Structure 1
Amino acid sequence: MTADRTAFAGVWLLLAVAVLTPLDAQAQAKRLVCWTDDMGRKACGDSLPPKYADKPRNIIDPSGRTVKVVPGAPTPEQRVAMEAKARQDAVAQRAAEQQSAYDRALLATYATPQELASLRDDRLASIDTSIELSEASVRRDMVSVAELRARLPAATSKEKPEPRLLKQVTEFEESLADTQHSLAALRKNRETLCNNFTRDIRRFQELKNGAVTFTSPCPVAGSLSSDAAAATDITGVRAFFDHHAELENDFDPAFLDNYAENAVIRIPRLDASGKPVIEERKIADYRAELIKALPAAKQKLETHQYSDIRIEPGKDGRATVSGKRTSTLSKTSEPFYVVVRSSGSGWKIVEAGSQPAP
């Protein structure tokens, strides 16, 4: 029994030796690590020296083949470049995701490119209205500023300007600058809206049909106004104004009939605190004062000459007449403006920015 056990153990020992011998042979055939030392020479060994841990290296098998290339640690410059590229890739990825979401929303919201063009025109019409109102405000403010400046002493005069008047001029000029800034912003917003819708109309068709077959140029500013189709009769406006000036210089009360019943006269002045304001007066009140002043004006023979006349078409059949008015008596000049509107019986003055001469 003991002999059998001894024989059996011997068999297992032989089997173990047979199995372990190939593994031991593989362990003896270790792979080499090769690197470049500080002198620029190639070196190889069983392991990489710690001082070269950040250097690139090759793993070589027993047959001399390179089985793996391990890059070294990046230099500070390479690290900066890698980080910059990673940021750029992240930005590009976010942009692609946002564009994809925008494309899905574009297709889900609209059925045709014509719907986009219609929405664009609706929004532009609203902006154009704001632009026209701002332009009118700028024109009024410019007239007010010019009127106030006309009250200042001439540059060659030794007379000192009144401090309150100087303050009024400054504040009106600041108000004018603010309005002009707002007007510029409105025009920029209009341009941006046009560009965005042009892009969206094109993109929608590329996504939907794979080709662009519908084009809709952005309408020019002011063309979407409700009264855009009604051209202002510039010649008629000029004839009306010339006749109005003629009646005025003839001291004929009939010139007051040229004002609409709801006409407004805007006069710049200082309030109780010295702050510049625009006083609005109804023509019904103003007319009585003018009629009362006519005899004295006729006795002095103070008439006015109008020059540098400009006529600008506006909304709702309106037009603005502006220019310079010079007294034939005092030889002083001041700017003026009047806004006229077409009515069933002809033109009527609905607003004036300077006092008509009596």
Structure 2
Amino acid sequence: MNKKLLNLIIFFMLCEMILANHVSARMKCWTNSEGIKECGDKIPPEYTQQGYQELSKGGIVLEEKERIKTKEELEKAKKEAAIIAREEEKERNKKIHDKMLLETFVTIKEIETTRDQKIEAVESTIKITQKRIIKLQYLLDDELNQNSLDKQIDGKDKKF
């Protein structure tokens, strides 16, 4: 009786191992170089990097592997990630600036008043600078005229 029980246990273990291997073996589908979809238990080496699907025994997609990206695609993705990072950084800086403004000023009117005062200060500096430029231009013109007169006088003296 012991021998029958042992044989029965061995039989069930073998059946379980066979079924386990059969169940775990998934069907894989890929697209060949001609664009035709092929399926099997193993993917040919030349198609492993092109992406494939793993199907259950019932044909349900269990997992889908993307194809490996080319260098150009990786570079493009890297550039896009950098652009997104810069935009996020700009947005963070804008939020920090907005928060600073909200903490500094109580109302929008205060912000506008401060802005107007700064504009007036810049305009005043521009006017003063323009007046200084005009004055310096007059001084330069006077100096040039004086030099011109001196040359004329010096030229007349040499003739005598």
Q: TM range, normalised to the smaller chain?
A: 0.7 to 0.9
SS in 2 for 1:134: helix
| Cα deviation 1:62-106 (Å, max 9, x = unaligned) | 222332221111123322321121111111221222222222222
Name the residue aligned to 2:37: 42
CA 1:102–1:19: 2 relative to 1, 3 Å? farther
Name the residue aligned to 1:111: 106
Amino acid at match of 2:50: K
More contact order relative to length (CA 8 Å, sep ≥ 6): 1
What TM-score does the superposition give when structure 1 sets the normalisation length?
0.37
- The yes-or-no answer on 1:124 pairing with 2:119 is yes
| Cα deviation 1:21-56 (Å, max 9, x = unaligned) | 245213124212222233444333322233323212
What is the root-mean-square deviation of aligned Cα atoms in Å?
3.0
CA 1:151–1:19: 2 relative to 1, 3 Å? same
| Cα deviation 1:235-293 (Å, max 9, x = unaligned) | xxxxxxxxxxxxxxxxxxxxxxxxxxxxxxxxxxxxxxxxxxxxxxxxxxxxxxxxxxx
In 1: Cα distance, 2:60 partner to 2:144 partner: 93
CA 1:44–1:113: 2 relative to 1, 3 Å? same
Pairs aligned (count): 151
Between Structure 1 and Structure 2, the one with more strand by share is 1
Amino acid at match of 1:92: E
CA 1:13–1:106: 2 relative to 1, 3 Å? farther
Name the residue aligned to 2:158: none
- The yes-or-no answer on 1:24 pairing with 2:15 is no
SS in 2 for 1:64: coil
CA 1:128–1:47: 2 relative to 1, 3 Å? same
Name the residue aligned to 1:102: 97
Amino acid at match of 1:94: E
CA 1:119–1:28: 2 relative to 1, 3 Å? same
* Superposition deviation, residue 151 in structure 1: 4.7
Amino acid at match of 1:123: K
After the TM superposition, which residues 86-235 of structure 1 pair with which residues of structure 2 at under 5 Å, given as runs?
86-151=81-146
- Structure 1: tracts of 5 or more residues without a match: 1-5, 154-158, 163-358
- Structure 2: tracts of 5 or more residues without a match: 155-160
Amino acid at match of 1:60: L
